[in-house]
Chain A
Amino acid sequence: MEKILFLACTQEDGVLPKAALETLTAAADLAAAVQAPLAVGLIGENVQAAADAIAACGAQEFCAVTGEDFASSRYASDAAAAEALVRKTSATLVLAPALSRLAKALPGVALRLDGRIETHVCAVDGALNIQRWYYRQRMIATLTRSQRPWFLLIDPGVFKPWEGQAASVMVEPVAVTLPESARRTRFVGFEAPPADAQTIRPEAELLFVAGAGWTKKQADGQPHVKVAEKLIHDFITKAKASLGSSKSLVDQTSEGGEVISLLSHLNQVGQTGATPRHPKGLATCCHGEEPHTVGWRFINKRRAVNLDANCGWAIGKADVLYVADAFQVVAKVNELLGD
């Protein structure tokens, strides 16, 4: 008989992130499908509010590792906490959101418990078949495992966030005493661009992908990088879009020369970049062939603007390709979008 543990960390504000609520949907659905008991395990400084918010998820058991030591992401403390929660609940299947904090901590925990782990899980069924991509979103596999405990890190954006009535729940504290050796690392803080300069917006409706064409010589024989930068900046601001980039374009930042200052490696999408999930995507001045267009594997509706009618980023992969000058098109779009 399986036993399912939904495992998550609270955010700085004490609530569960959206991706955790999505994983809770997956965990609750799976518990119903395999008729297994569901437990909730939380890690954070104080988790009561988060537990109360998911009181109605159907879990028979709520437990948590809490306190200052567990407020922020640190491998040693998070791994100790997760290990204690899995042992406490004797879970055979552990579902957690594929967010940075548990993605870092859980592989080691799986090893400690002689379990196994699958990450980037994008589907789970009642026969315990899961789906995940291999070779950076180039092929998709359906598989199952015999070993337990089996940890599944669920990719954000796949399941609907769990919704239900809040109520007050009894959360059983699980004590974890950290040895000094687990405190060698200290959380210092976060670094983020100022809110108006933040170009990566996971919740945006639209992903705007900029390719190296924006920095290439244009019809007049000159590059117009500053113009490009302004057009891109205005577009993502007006359209409230998230900014992605091809590898060629972000690589220019480490190669010297004039660059689009909005971009860093964090913006890169594709084979060696991110594969974000957004409802829509607009690619401009991108040429990448099939292997690189994996950057928008998880974008539902896709359009592209390119001077080249045979653009490898678009043909067979986008719904619409506009053969046009992106400088002119984006300038006009910005004008139409107004303020």
Chain B
Amino acid sequence: MSTGFHIVVCGSLVPDPLQTLAPVQGPAGPALKNELMLPAVLDPFAAHSLYEAANLAKKAPGSKIWLVSLGNKAKLQQLMMTVAQKVPFELVPLDGPASGFTDSFEVAAALAGAIDKIPNLDRSRLLLFGGCASASRDAGVTMQMVGERLGILDQFLAVDELKVEENGSLRFLERIEGGRYQVSVCSGPPAMVAWATGNLPEPPNNPQIGMQNMRAIMPALQKAQPAPVATSGITFASVTLPAQQRQTRIVKDASVEEIAKEIVAWIKE
């Protein structure tokens, strides 16, 4: 009997959060200024899910990880230079826009279609991983729609912990309102797990893993299927940067006593 999990991680690139972002009107709707020039990172929540996948796979021998990424092919290749050094996985690239303005419905259709075509994917052992929200669209809906398209009815959102119990069931901690967790137990895979930050630090770069991964990643990128997702049905009236700059009053040479008094008065206002 085969053991371990088949973990499919959905995650793509987003502009490095340290970059200045500005919206522009493109031919197909809103876009980011110089989008293709902006340095990119693996979408943070999805990146956490990839690290959690690797950690789980290590503990469950026979497991395998795929990373399904929809993004500009050249940018994906750049991104892989670092991401491929983190953990072992097989890349399933889709060549299309990674913009936050594309419709999650269409993105989910493209991702589910690609997952459907993964050879030898064992659905009975499938854990569909991803981030609970992207740093681009930040909608928190794509993973559920991918799960739904793949017929997965056990779904978990904003997960910080997944424990495999002795009987094979899966115990989840999901973030809910007010700094609390919901605890649920699912009898086993298949399940969709949209991660929050989890509990693992970013793995250090390991050039050996990188080299191993890249052997399959380069040919996969060359064969990447086009995925022209768009924004059908949406009309954007405007996309703007928040304009309000505050006039900051800088209090420099006041005593601690004066400052504390002012703060307390303000708190009590």
Residues in chain A within 8 A of chain B (CB atoms): 17, 72-76, 79, 99-101, 103-108, 110-112, 116-120, 129, 133-147, 181-182, 184-193, 198-202, 205-206, 239, 251, 254-255, 265-268, 271-272, 280, 282, 289-292, 297, 301-303, 305, 309, 314-325, 328-329, 332-333, 335-337
Q: Which residues of B contact A104 (CB under 8 A)?
A: 144, 155-157, 174
Q: How many residues of B contact A (CB 8 A)?
A: 90
B19 engages A291 (CB within 8 Å): yes
What separation, in Å, do the CA atoms of A199 and B136 have in the docked complex? Answer: 28
B184 engages A188 (CB within 8 Å): yes
B21 engages A138 (CB within 8 Å): yes
- Given contacts A191-B173, A290-B20, A320-B249, could you give 12 more A-B pairs where the C-beta distance is less than 8 Å? A17-B177, A74-B184, A75-B153, A117-B105, A134-B100, A135-B32, A187-B183, A189-B183, A192-B179, A199-B179, A254-B201, A255-B201
B138 engages A265 (CB within 8 Å): no
Minimum Cβ distance to chain B for residue A187 (Å): 6
Residue B197 interfacial (CB < 8 Å): yes
Per-residue 0/1 for B72-102: is the Cβ within 8 Å of any A Cβ (1 yes, 0 no)?
Answer: 0000000000000000000000000000110
Given contacts A139-B241, A316-B245, contact A134 B137 (CB under 8 A): yes
B177 engages A322 (CB within 8 Å): no
Q: Which residues of B contact A146 (CB under 8 A)?
A: 233, 235
Would you list the 10 A-B pairs with minimal beta carbon distance, nearest first? A200-B179, A332-B260, A107-B141, A107-B144, A108-B148, A75-B155, A104-B157, A188-B183, A192-B180, A142-B237
Of residues 131 through 188 on chain B, the ones whose CB sits less than 8 Å from some CB of chain A are 135-142, 144-145, 147-149, 153-158, 160, 171, 173-188
Given contacts A134-B136, A138-B241, contact A184 B248 (CB under 8 A): no
Minimum Cβ distance to chain B for residue A91 (Å): 18
Q: Which residues of A contact B18 (CB under 8 A)?
A: 289, 291
Closest to B99 in A: A134
Q: Which residues of A contact B247 (CB under 8 A)?
A: 319
B252 engages A309 (CB within 8 Å): yes
